[in-house]
Amino acid sequence: MNNKPIVVQKYGGSSLATPELIKRVAQNVVARKDEGVDLVVVVSAMGKTTDEFIKLAHTVNANPDKREMDMLLSVGERISISVLALAINAIGKYQAVSYTGSQIGLITDNNHTNARVLEVKGLRLREALQEDKIVVIAGFQGVSINKEITTLGRGGSDTTAVAVAAALQADSCEIMSDIDGIYTADPKRIPVARRIDRIHYDEALEMAAAGAKMLHKTSVEFAKRHHVPLSLGSTFTGQIGTIVTDENLSRGAASGVVIDRDVAVIRFSTRQEDGLKLPLLFSREKLFLKIWQCVQGLAIIGVSHSDISTAQRILEQTAQYLNVDERQAVLSLVGTGVSIGSEAARKFFTALDELQVTYSAVMNGELFVRVLIPLEGSDEIYAAIHKQFFEN
């Protein structure tokens, strides 16, 4: 190999939504290549393509097979790799070549629609870099050990970028989107939110787990485990806004507030001995609980809307099923030293009290406190908590 720094850049769907935007990304890519690097570009599907494919599948089948869903959804990224490669080639300065996940040997487990990356072989990738080509890779997809096309879960292109960066031991993995970094809140909803220049992997992970959309949760876990130098930047300016690091930042304070609106709450009653089996059943089915609480046989779990049917299927085996409430939200305060008992938590619960918020469940970890609130009115609470912590 030559000694150029290796850079992996990932562009999200909203940065690629139209042909004009794709041309702009092509210009950015060429400008990054001009800096004398080996460049790999990972892309998502154009705009809302993936959502449209999901709708399409549901119009012909209410309960689509996961294998066929992967076959369909993986097409979105195939469109964007080829179109971006064409746009780069049209500039005429560098040669671009596009590859699917399976072509670069991105191997996953067999868990369709939510597969885990096991390995990136990357042989063709390295060959193309050696020929000084810009390599454009389809994010979000791979090939399973059973030789089937798989996808990595919604937002999974970030994970492709990090996995490719890890395999190449890249010098930089840059997640480019229309928001130039990680903020104290979603800047599209709270315009006064502040950008965080440096954030610890663990805090970024906790923010992603709390439902912030800036990074796919698995990508942060992967980056931390493989020491991938991860950063976030703006598609429009090419500037990096946030660096994710393992430096001990030890601020001992809140770093952000996150609201997750994709929450359905299932309330049910269960006998003690049956209730005890549920964590195992949920884990076996890979069901992610956003929040849960059980008090004297009465339990609450909060799941993503797309997981309602899985959750119901599990609960039917053991619990007396009560009801599903699809209009709930989970509000989290995240940061080093934000745990119940901390000064930040005191401030958080004081503010909720003053706002007269009735929350129906609480969760607490080393880096977060979290409450379950009704979706209605949650925007105001989100803004008020942000103001309390980050605006003065």
Where on the chain is the footprint of ligand ASP (CB under 6 A)? Answer: 13, 44-45, 50, 76, 139-140, 154-157
142 binds, among ligand ASP, Mg ion, none (CB under 5 to 8 A by kind): none
Position of minimal CB gap to ligand ASP: 157
Instruction: Identify which of residues 54 and 351 has a Cβ nearer to ligand ASP in the complex.
Output: 54
Residue where the block lists tokens 């009653």 = 269
Taking the complex as a whole, the smallest distance from the CB of residue 215 to Mg ion amounts, in Å, to 7
Taking the complex as a whole, the smallest distance from the CB of residue 213 to ligand ASP amounts, in Å, to 10
The CA-based angle 288-69-78, given to 5 degrees, is 110
140 binds, among Mg ion, ligand ASP, none (CB under 5 to 8 A by kind): ligand ASP
d(CA 52, CA 119): 30
Instruction: Identify which of residues 103 and 269 has a Cβ nearer to ligand ASP in the complex.
Output: 103
Burial string for 149-173 (b: 16+ CB within 10 Å, else e) reads bbbbbbbbbbbbbbbbbbbbebebb
DSSP conformation letters of 61-81 = -SS--HHHHHHHHHHHHHHHH
Structure-block tokens of residue 242: 């946030």
Instruction: Identify which of residues 152 and 372 has a Cβ nearer to Mg ion in the complex.
Output: 152
Question: H/E element holding 243?
Answer: strand 240-245
Taking the complex as a whole, the smallest distance from the CB of residue 350 to ligand ASP amounts, in Å, to 38
390 binds, among ligand ASP, Mg ion, none (CB under 5 to 8 A by kind): none
Taking the complex as a whole, the smallest distance from the CB of residue 316 to ligand ASP amounts, in Å, to 29
d(CA 10, CA 164): 11
Binding site for Mg ion (CB under 5 A): 12, 155
Instruction: Identify which of residues 164 and 315 has a Cβ nearer to ligand ASP in the complex.
Output: 164
Instruction: Identify which of residues 11 and 368 has a Cβ nearer to ligand ASP in the complex.
Output: 11
Instruction: Identify which of residues 152 and 300 has a Cβ nearer to ligand ASP in the complex.
Output: 152
Taking the complex as a whole, the smallest distance from the CB of residue 260 to ligand ASP amounts, in Å, to 16
Rg (CA), the chain: 22
13 binds, among ligand ASP, Mg ion, none (CB under 5 to 8 A by kind): ligand ASP
Taking the complex as a whole, the smallest distance from the CB of residue 8 to ligand ASP amounts, in Å, to 14
Instruction: Identify which of residues 76 and 181 has a Cβ nearer to ligand ASP in the complex.
Output: 76
**Residues 155, 156, 158, 162: what is their CA dihedral angle, to the nearest 10 degrees?**
160
156 binds, among ligand ASP, Mg ion, none (CB under 5 to 8 A by kind): ligand ASP
Instruction: Identify which of residues 154 and 370 has a Cβ nearer to ligand ASP in the complex.
Output: 154
d(CA 80, CA 90): 15
Instruction: Identify which of residues 45 and 214 has a Cβ nearer to ligand ASP in the complex.
Output: 45
Count of CB atoms situated within 10 Å of the CB of 116: 17
d(CA 266, CA 32): 48
139 binds, among Mg ion, ligand ASP, none (CB under 5 to 8 A by kind): ligand ASP
Residue-level length of the chain: 392
Give the three-class secondary structure for 50.
helix
Taking the complex as a whole, the smallest distance from the CB of residue 150 to ligand ASP amounts, in Å, to 13
Count of CB atoms situated within 10 Å of the CB of 275: 17
CA-wise closest residue to 80 among 130, 14, 124, 142: 14
101 binds, among ligand ASP, Mg ion, none (CB under 5 to 8 A by kind): none
Looking only at the bridges linking them, the beta strands covering 361-365 and 149-151 are unpaired
335 binds, among Mg ion, ligand ASP, none (CB under 5 to 8 A by kind): none
Taking the complex as a whole, the smallest distance from the CB of residue 214 to Mg ion amounts, in Å, to 7
Taking the complex as a whole, the smallest distance from the CB of residue 251 to Mg ion amounts, in Å, to 26
